[in-house]
A and B are shown apart, each in its own frame.
Chain A
Amino acid sequence: MRNPLRSEAEAFRFLIAVIIGALVIFGAARIDTWLGVAAAVAAVAGIVWWLKDEPVPGAGEPLPKLTSATPPGIRRVLVVANETARGTALRDELERVRTPETELLVVAPALASPVQHWVSDVDGAREDAEERLNESVGLLRAAGFRVRGEIGDPDPLVAIEDALRTFGADEIVISTHPPGRSNWLEQDIVGKARQRLALPVTHVVVDLAAEQARA
């Protein structure tokens, strides 16, 4: 059902529909109370039918895959990483795909729990993500990359789609913890991204514990 109060125009149309139903009910009730009740039931059914969603042309067809346009001569890489943003394996992968005209956008989804997300208590998660993001962006800039960062939606797929709306990426790099430690791998974020996006998606596994042990 569409929301009858989503705009003043919709609310006014809803009011007109209710007035027409009320006139029918009023007339029926003057004849007999039970006729009025029947008219009320019919009026409610009529209004509910009127509020049903109109079929959208193309609905039911597979959604077109998301893609994005890149300015000519520039290669853009969207990097999705949070806790693994400071990992050496990620930086090695970015060095591998680097060209003289590579631009990076590092998106760090704010890792909030479902309860935190629904009560909009994501400030702590955003602060943690920002701290990791700043460190990661600093390291990449020190390595000579043209890079900027932003905090993304707690859902990595939504964060990717949001970023692609303004950043014409040619490639996506998703960095996760190793299997068994990664919530994103549990949710098959990489597989879903490959299915949904018409862009090459590279998966990088960053084992921070192993990297720290080697250091």
Chain B
Amino acid sequence: MAAAHAEHLEHHGPPTPHYSSRITPGVLGMFLFIASEIMLFGSFFTAYFFIRVVNGVQWPTPPYHLPVYVALLNTCILVTSSFTVHWALQSIKRGNVWGLRAGLLLTFLMGLTFLITQVIEYARIGFNTSDGAFPTIFFCLTGLHGAHVFVGLSILLFMTIRAFRGHFSAEHHHGVEIGGIYWHFVDVMWIVVYLTVYIL
């Protein structure tokens, strides 16, 4: 009975499903996720292109200004958070549980700082979506990214809680890997949004 109980403790999740060797569910899921994100962000960038390039709307439209340097600081915070989540994953691969916990906690706090800073900027920016095409596409692009950051923070919160509960080890840390991939994706998307909306 003790052996069966030990086996039960070892097992994580449902039994391995039967599937062919042609494509694994994880890879197919990732392809579908990337395809859906390309379509989603692509549609908003297409709107940005038509507003700014095709219709020649001045960017930013006077008398509005964009907080370029606050957004740059925010970018630095988000980029640094990618380094900390990478450090967290490298730590648990070497069996360093406290490195994992510290990395995830730092990542979460920096992500939260990013989101709060974004919300404060929204409140102080001086325009809203009813003020024309430029403000609309600004809020749509940055807001869409903000929604992804919120989802990423939720995932990070679960990962951090599980890390502090000792769920991860050098052999079993798939949850950290997946969350790390998503967080890097969110970071890449923010760099693209920042360059497009604030810099170019």
Contacts and interface: CB of A to CB of B under 8 A. Distances in A.
Nearest to B180: A8
A5 B181 contact: yes
Contacts of A158: 20-22
Interface stretch (B125-133, B158-166, B182-190): B182-190
A67 B199 CA distance: 58
Contact of A22 (B21, B31, B185, B195): B195
A121 interface: no
Given A7-B177, A8-B181, A33 B21 contact: no
Contact of B184 (A12, A37, A153, A159): A12
B27 A153 contact: no
A15 B21 contact: no
Contact of A153 (B20, B176, B188): B20
A37 B200 contact: yes
Give the size range of A's interface with the partner: 20 to 34
B188 A14 contact: yes
Nearest to A162: B21
Contact of A11 (B20, B181, B200): B181
B200 A40 contact: yes
Contact of B82 (A12, A33, A151): A12
Interface string A39-55: 01000000000000000
Contacts of B30: 3, 5-6
A26 interface: yes
B34 interface: yes
A25 B187 contact: no
A52 B183 CA distance: 23
A11 B21 contact: no
Contacts of A211: none
Given A8-B177, A22-B195, A26-B199, A15 B18 contact: no
| Chain A residues touching B, majority SS | helix
A205 interface: no
A149 interface: no
Interface string B78-99: 0100100010010000000000
A125 interface: no
Nearest to B53: A37
Contact of B34 (A5, A8, A25): A5
Contact of B79 (A6, A8, A19): A19
Contacts of B31: 3
B88 to A, nearest CB: 10
B157 interface: no
Given A8-B181, A14-B184, A36 B200 contact: yes
B151 to A, nearest CB: 15
A158 B18 CA distance: 13
B191 interface: yes
16 contacts: A6-B30, A8-B181, A8-B184, A11-B180, A12-B180, A18-B188, A19-B79, A19-B191, A22-B194, A26-B195, A126-B18, A153-B20, A155-B22, A158-B22, A159-B20, A161-B21
Interface of B: 18, 20-22, 27, 30-31, 34, 79, 82, 86, 89, 176-177, 180-181, 184-185, 187-188, 191-192, 194-195, 199-200
- When A and B form their complex, which 4 residue pairs have the shortest distance between CB atoms, in order from nearest? A153-B20, A11-B184, A8-B180, A11-B181
Given A8-B89, A12-B184, A22-B191, 19 more contacts: A3-B27, A3-B30, A5-B181, A8-B86, A8-B176, A8-B181, A11-B181, A11-B184, A12-B82, A12-B180, A18-B191, A19-B79, A22-B195, A25-B199, A29-B195, A36-B195, A40-B195, A153-B21, A162-B20
